Chain A
Amino acid sequence: MFLAIKEIKHEKLRYALITGMIMLVSYLVFILSGLSSGLQTLNSAAIDTWGANAIVLNKDAQLSLPQSVVNTPDVNKATATGGAKLVQFGGLVKDTAGHKESVQVIGIDQKEFIYKGLKIENGTKLTADNQVVVSDNLKVDGFKLGDNIKFANTNITAKIVGFTKNANLNIAPVVYTTIANAQKITQRPGVVNGVVFKDAKPNVSNLHTSKVYAINDFVNALPGNSAQTMTFNFMIGFLMVIILIVITIFLYILTIQKLPNFGVLKAQGVATKYLVKNTLFQSFLIAVIGVGIAVILTTITALILPAQVPIFISASYVAVTAVLIIVMSLLGSLIPIREIVKVDPYTMIGG
């Protein structure tokens, strides 16, 4: 790889530019994918913490939990086979100090698995109707343990007894309360919106007005969820294509400039394979360095960004994307390589 390295050393500026270009685009890809999964997390993190794999909803609710009402016989059947009841609605909470936040209220039953699996970061689990466990995101907004919060448009208050992590739904922090309290706030006694199961194929049959759905179908149907994922995927795909084109153009121009020399080297008996290998090695090297720096920058960014920025960078995703970008750069060297293979030593000699 003698030629490749000597050239990069001699043409530092050119190669620094293209490496920088790859670095920036890779960084953008990593940050976008981090944002994508970060926003996705905000949308559905709470569901992930439950460890649920299936959900029973009203057939006509179009996979929307707040719009679904599961009738009592179906609820009884579902809870008898290990399901956990849910009451969900969006609302506003205020504390006595005047902090205000729009939240998703979720009513859960103390005998069922969501309550049992609830992980408290600090404080305790709720044990009465006038107690709530809330998302730790509310801390940032000034809510504290022991605060009394009031549900908007009601006279109902409850005390924050615990904070829990990753409790987000529909991009809002979650407030967990009892089923009874949730029904009291909505003034719909007895109404259950859905029942979730750990089991992907729960053993419930003969449901009347409801149906079992896979939890992924339910998550994908969360408002804006799939549109958002698609937008990000489109942008990331586009950036991949940009990397491919940028590398192709850059290497192509560099190669065309060297073509007479490559022609003479071929005349002198240097094998085409040797020249091709060097070009491939060059694009591999600049891609690895560019992507490597981007990974480091991404890690630093993830560390210094404030907690409110919804960014979630997964190491495995970054690794896969990095490999993909490197593959793109190798593909980008194919057209320049074709020129090298094609160049006829004689035409370059002239005179």
Chain B
Amino acid sequence: MANLELKNVSKVYGSGVSQLTALNKVNFAAHEGETVLIVGPSGSGKTTFLTIAGGLQTPSTGEVLINGSGYSSTNKNEQSALRLNKIGFVLQAYNLVPFLTVAEQFELVDKVKQNNMAAERFEGVLDTLGIKDLLAKYPKELSGGQRQRVAIARALYADPEYILADEPTAALDTNRSLEVMSLFNQLAHKYQKAVIVVTHDQRLEEKADKVYQIIDGQMSLLKDKTE
């Protein structure tokens, strides 16, 4: 069973007087088939959490387990391959390559990875995200919200086990935000993905299966529908 766990993870930036504990002994688990929301004020450690969970940073102490095995024991190439095959990132910026059209963003995924989402299913994703008509456009021709939706589609296209999204609805209006959240729920429930969404968007809370809160690097479980 696919799951992602953080055990006693701390992250300390800097040293001496400028030392800052961005994550403090965080314990966390996300399983396939559920959507997990992580909320918290700005600077509370959300992005730090997401990048550690996705293997872009190593924790200062503690460990990250993906499907039961330690992430940090693998080498750089293996980590890169793991991210390619298992993790779909939706980041806060620079998700799209500026000189590729929307369609080519997906084509790039095909160039570097096999077994991507089947065409019919992907059509559905494009429909839900409302970006079917944008395929021929370049990122600079899109609005912020459209860009974000394309970034979500790009992450989903690789058909990862985990979806890690950093503020994916920041540029979207309420309706779109809820639709995106429904799409995440559908992916989790129907296709057994584990979706982890970092946000300060309170509107999404009721739609998630689990809600964690981070304040000053301390994580606590707010709500768990699965229990």
Identify the stretch in A41-49, A51-59, A260-268 within 8 Å (CB) of chain B at 4 or more residues.
A260-268
B54 within 8 A of A: yes
Name the interface size band of chain A.
20 to 34
- Kindly identify which residue among B82, B85, B91, B111 contacts A349, using a CB–CB cutoff of 8 Å: B91
B122 within 8 A of A: no
> Are A267 and B108 CB-contacts (below 8 A) given A261-B94, A261-B98?
no
A346 nearest CB neighbor, chain B only? B56
- Cross-chain contact B80 with A269 (CB below 8 angstroms): yes
Tell me the complex Cα distance, A186–B16, Å: 94
Render B39-54 as a binary contact track against A, CB cut-off 8 A, 1 for contact: 0000000010001001
- Cross-chain contact A268 with B89 (CB below 8 angstroms): yes
B215 within 8 A of A: no
- Kindly identify which residue among A11, A264, A271 contacts B94, using a CB–CB cutoff of 8 Å: A264
Chain A residues, Cβ within 8 Å of B94: 260-261, 263-264, 348-349
Chain A residues, Cβ within 8 Å of B95: 264
- Kindly identify which residue among B97, B104, B113 contacts A261, using a CB–CB cutoff of 8 Å: B97
A274 within 8 A of B: yes
Chain A min CB distance to B147 (Å)? 13
Chain A min CB distance to B169 (Å)? 14
Render B154-182 as a binary contact track against A, CB cut-off 8 A, 1 for contact: 01001000000011000000000000000
Tell me the complex Cα distance, A10–B155, Å: 23
Tell me the complex Cα distance, A272–B75, Å: 14
B107 within 8 A of A: yes
- Cross-chain contact A345 with B112 (CB below 8 angstroms): no
- Cross-chain contact A346 with B97 (CB below 8 angstroms): no
- Cross-chain contact A265 with B97 (CB below 8 angstroms): yes
B28 within 8 A of A: no
- Cross-chain contact B80 with A272 (CB below 8 angstroms): yes
B212 within 8 A of A: no
Tell me the complex Cα distance, A350–B166, Å: 10
A111 within 8 A of B: no
Chain B min CB distance to A342 (Å)? 12
Chain A residues, Cβ within 8 Å of B56: 267, 345-346, 349
Residues of B62-106 at the interface with A, using a CB-CB cut-off of 8 Å, are 77, 80-85, 87-89, 91-100, 104
Render A11-27 as a binary contact track against B, CB cut-off 8 A, 1 for contact: 10000000000000000
- Kindly identify which residue among A270, A345, A351 contacts B84, using a CB–CB cutoff of 8 Å: A270
Residues of A249-303 at the interface with B, using a CB-CB cut-off of 8 Å, are 258, 260-261, 263-272, 274
Chain A min CB distance to B178 (Å)? 23
Chain A min CB distance to B213 (Å)? 19
- Cross-chain contact B97 with A271 (CB below 8 angstroms): no
Chain B residues, Cβ within 8 Å of A270: 80, 84, 108, 112
Chain B residues, Cβ within 8 Å of A7: 99
- Cross-chain contact B107 with A2 (CB below 8 angstroms): yes
A257 nearest CB neighbor, chain B only? B98
Chain B min CB distance to A137 (Å)? 55
- Cross-chain contact B54 with A3 (CB below 8 angstroms): no
Chain B min CB distance to A239 (Å)? 31
B115 within 8 A of A: no
- Cross-chain contact B93 with A2 (CB below 8 angstroms): no
- Cross-chain contact B80 with A271 (CB below 8 angstroms): yes
- Cross-chain contact B167 with A269 (CB below 8 angstroms): no
> Are A346 and B85 CB-contacts (below 8 A) given A267-B91, A270-B112?
no
A6 within 8 A of B: yes
Tell me the complex Cα distance, A7–B99, Å: 6
Chain A min CB distance to B208 (Å)? 21
Render A221-252 as a binary contact track against B, CB cut-off 8 A, 1 for contact: 00000000000000000000000000000000
- Cross-chain contact B104 with A267 (CB below 8 angstroms): no
Chain A residues, Cβ within 8 Å of B83: 267-269
B61 within 8 A of A: no
Chain B min CB distance to A351 (Å)? 4
What are 10 inter-chain pairs, A to B, with CB distance below 8 A? A261-B94, A264-B94, A269-B82, A269-B113, A270-B112, A272-B80, A348-B94, A349-B47, A349-B51, A351-B167
Besides A269-B80, A270-B112, 17 new A-B residue pairs in contact (Cβ under 8 A), listed by A number = A3-B108, A260-B93, A264-B94, A267-B83, A267-B91, A269-B81, A269-B82, A269-B84, A270-B80, A270-B84, A271-B80, A271-B84, A346-B56, A349-B91, A350-B93, A351-B92, A351-B167
